[in-house]
Amino acid sequence: MKILILRLSSLGDIVLTQPIAAWLRAKYPEAQIDYVVKEQFLELVTLMGCGLKPIIYKKSFKAHFALFKVRYDIVIDLHGKLSTYLIKIAARGNKSVTYNKARITRARIVKGNNSLHIESTLDLYKTALDKIYQHVILESPHLYSSPHTTLPELLSVCKRIAIFPGATHNTKRYPLKYYKELIENSPKNFQYILLGSFSELELCQNLILDERTINLCAKLNYAQILSLLETCDWVISSDSGPMHLAAALHRPQIAIFGATHPRLGFSPQNPNAHILCANLDCQPCSLHGSEKCPLGHFKCMHSIPFQSILEIIEG
């Protein structure tokens, strides 16, 4: 049995495909399961713990022809874009399926239909398996950290809190001034670790207030980030990829929603998650966030004071 999974990006979306890979591995223990992904997320696939073979996505004819020669039994497209449609054609699976992106439902939610709700993006991914199998039951996403991963030396503190202040779009980011107030008003024996990608270096640099804030932004690989999060008492983020990293470890976490909303299916799949969302009439104003608030007030984030976070992590 040869199976091909397609999900090129991005961080959170790839994490949410892990239960699909785990279900297929349980059903076909001896199968060859390949996973096509962009190079920057290659390591993430290896941390899913499903014996997957990651394949770097390339647009070249050579790369597509290599998949053509494998002759896959099943091709599962969990991306649903032109790029993966072309791969699906090239791979010639005996069975080829694409997941239902619920575009219409999500568009109606963004336009203000408060009666609609998508439980999770994972449920949408499951629609691909439902086209082939019956009675599919998925576990929540899980990633595997290693106790042997080398980490920077950290101080022994009362509580260690990881903050991912970034997000792809501005309207998904919790304002830096509130993060600063959170750190300034926290007990002195709380330690804050700032994490993120290269594009968020300046963002994290602006949050270094004293010796209690440690900036590890863009300094760790995914395996190191997972191991570090395992040592944290809390993980704080916006609706972003790192939110799903914390959820896949079932760490206590706080997820802050601004321009988006949990009803779009983006909630962390984690029983230990606290979701902070103002639930304004104008939420959500977009599917993935934007550069500025379309109404000019950004109340979705300004309505969540730092005290709301502090109460949770002090409890």
- Evaluate if residue 241 carries a pLDDT over 80: yes
H runs (alpha helix) in the chain: 11-16, 18-27, 42-46, 61-70, 82-91, 103-110, 121-130, 176-184, 201-205, 222-230, 241-248, 299-302, 306-314
Phi, psi torsion values for 120, nearest 5 degrees = -165, 150
- Evaluate if residue 27 carries a pLDDT over 80: yes
Query: How far apart are alpha carbons 78 and 45 in whole angstroms?
Result: 14
- Evaluate if residue 155 carries a pLDDT over 80: no
Secondary structure (3-state) at 21: helix
Percent of the chain at pLDDT > 90 equals 94
- Evaluate if residue 171 carries a pLDDT over 90: yes
Whether 254 and 312 have beta carbons less than 8 Å apart is answered as: yes
- Evaluate if residue 154 carries a pLDDT over 90: no
Q: pLDDT at position 150, please?
A: 87
- Evaluate if residue 19 carries a pLDDT over 90: yes
For the chain, which domains are there?
2-130 (3.40.50.2000), 159-314 (3.40.50.2000)
Percent of the chain at pLDDT > 70 equals 100
Mean pLDDT of the chain: 96
pLDDT tens digit sequence for 271-312:
999 999 999 999 999 999 999 999 999 999 999 999 999 999
Q: What is the DSSP annotation of 155-216?
A: ---SEEEEEE---SSGGGSPPHHHHHHHHHTS-TTEEEEE---GGGHHHHHTT--STTEEE-
Which has the higher per-residue pLDDT, 315 or 169?
Answer: 169
pLDDT tens digit sequence for 247-265:
999 999 999 999 999 999 9
Q: pLDDT at position 315, please?
A: 86
- Evaluate if residue 157 carries a pLDDT over 90: no
